[in-house]
Amino acid sequence: MPLTVLNDDEIRALLEALTATELEGFRGALAAALHEYSTGGQGGGASSSVQQPERISVQNTATGATTLFMPSSSSVGNGIKVITLTSASPTTTTTTSSSTTSCGTAAAEKTKIRPTGAITLFTPHGAAHGLLHAGALTAFRTALASLCVVQRRARVGTLLVFGCGEQAYWHVRLALKARGSEVKMVCFVVNRTSTRAVGLVRRFCVETSQGVKDAEGWARCRFELVTTASAIDKERDRDGEGEEEERREREVLQARLREADVVFCCTPSTEALFEAEWLESKAEGRLVVAIGSYTPQMRELPGELVRQAVQGEQGVIVVDTIDGALKEAGELIEAGVTKEQLVELGEVAMLDDATLSPAENEKKHRMAHLVQRLRTGNVIYKSVGFGLMDLSVGMYLVDYAKERGIGTVVQGF
């Protein structure tokens, strides 16, 4: 059985070159998997081939790294993702000898580890099918799930993004691929004007060809970089000039938040990125996507905003997995959100599909009010990620790459 191996550069090149139609193919594959997960039973009952065990994690106290193991199974095959990243709350270690070398000091400080790993895929019969680098693919599949909600929005003219990493890039990139002609402004919010943040804006403004911008319809889109005081700056005693600068930064951020149709939160933050009252109500509603925090100790959204979403008739909270969100999403845990107050993405991802069964079509009519809220209401989409997303998108990617002769094929594996 041949095994297809795709490295990060190959995956990135394939995904960057997707047309809107090809992107919709990927989104459809993910939506179908999420729909099967949400409607067929996550536990893999008689009516479903989905198996989604809880992720397993191990920690390395010497490096401060956490390695996550995420197995999954569905009708398309089986897979496991193994990814290593800096622990959200790494165990601290202390020096045991006064003669510790510089290497020992570096180990104690625990250099930050950017998420890295691989996804191994198998056919439904267990044969090895693909080995994929998890870097770009993880950011892409997370943004692809968010796109299932973004595609339902009536207005996407102004995007505001917290963060400057790969998740921030792919969330904007897919929004532009899918609805570029409607996006007029993208605002990136970062703690400081770093080389990385400037590089992110450059990827859109300079490194993306004019031909691509014209084809996707966002050649006239404006990009802006807004800086805010870092946590260190906020703790430091400020002089009058520093306080005035922080006040101006806050006012600019508040103004941009009020204007935003879609807010992407893509940071591993342990505290809310903004105040709930900064998001003044809009007649058209607003979509807030939070994908950066993934442990009970982390949070990007203010608790009041979460509570407003589940209390108001025009608000709704959508999650990728209810079980996972209630165990891992710090924002939802802090706000005391219950299972009954959440809607799973798989329940709404296929509502426009003509192949829905009669029973599901009946449910679609009952969910008409929810569909309208998803279009124009105040919506929070919270994602913690799970293995089925990697499995479904990864299997689709392997077939897509094979058709284009991309990747290394190992025969007789």
**pLDDT-wise least confident of 180-189, 235-244, 327-336:** 235-244
pLDDT tens sequence across 316-329: 999 999 999 999 99
Model confidence at 101: pLDDT above 70: no
pLDDT range class, residue 246, cuts 50, 70, 90: confident
Mean pLDDT of 49-73: 91
Mean pLDDT of 36-58: 76
pLDDT tens sequence across 8-18: 999 999 999 99
CA separation (Å) from 31 to 36, 308, 358?
9, 27, 19
Cβ distance 219 to 210 under 8 Å? Answer: yes
Query: Where are the chain's structural domains?
Result: 3-137+390-410, 143-385
> Any idea which fold 143-385 has?
Rossmann fold (3.40.50)
Report the chain's mean pLDDT, rounded to a whole number.
86
Beta strand pairing call for 77-86 and 116-122: antiparallel
Of 147, 115, 218, residue with least CA distance to 176: 218
Confidence at residue 43, expressed as pLDDT on a 0 to 100 scale: 46
Confidence at residue 112, expressed as pLDDT on a 0 to 100 scale: 78
Model confidence at 395: pLDDT above 90: yes
Model confidence at 157: pLDDT above 90: yes
H/E element, 115? none
CB atoms within 10 A of CB 207: 8
Confidence at residue 44, expressed as pLDDT on a 0 to 100 scale: 44
Model confidence at 334: pLDDT above 70: yes
Q: Which amino acid is residue 367, in one-letter code?
A: M
State the pTM of this model: 0.88
Rounded to whole angstroms, the Cα distance separating 286 from 155 reads: 9
Mean pLDDT of 246-254: 87
Query: What backbone phi and psi angles, to 5 degrees, belong to 260?
Result: -70, 135
Domain spanning 3-137+390-410: CATH superfamily: ornithine cyclodeaminase, domain 1 (3.30.1780.10)
CA 129 to chain centre: 25
Confidence at residue 287, expressed as pLDDT on a 0 to 100 scale: 96
Cβ distance 165 to 191 under 8 Å? Answer: no
pLDDT range class, residue 243, cuts 50, 70, 90: confident
Of 352, 25, 351, 344, residue with least CA distance to 177: 25
3-class DSSP assignment, residue 299: coil
**pLDDT-wise least confident of 214-218, 229-233, 244-248, 301-305:** 229-233
Higher pLDDT, 369 or 383: 383
Intrachain domains 3-137+390-410 and 143-385 with the same fold: no
pLDDT range class, residue 104, cuts 50, 70, 90: very low
Model confidence at 310: pLDDT above 80: yes
Higher pLDDT, 343 or 194: 343
Tokens of 43: 């536990």
Query: What backbone phi and psi angles, to 5 degrees, belong to 78?
Result: -130, 155
Tokens of 190: 């970062």
Query: What backbone phi and psi angles, to 5 degrees, belong to 54?
Result: -65, 150
pLDDT range class, residue 193, cuts 50, 70, 90: low
Tokens of 248: 């101006």
Confidence at residue 196, expressed as pLDDT on a 0 to 100 scale: 87
Model confidence at 46: pLDDT above 60: no
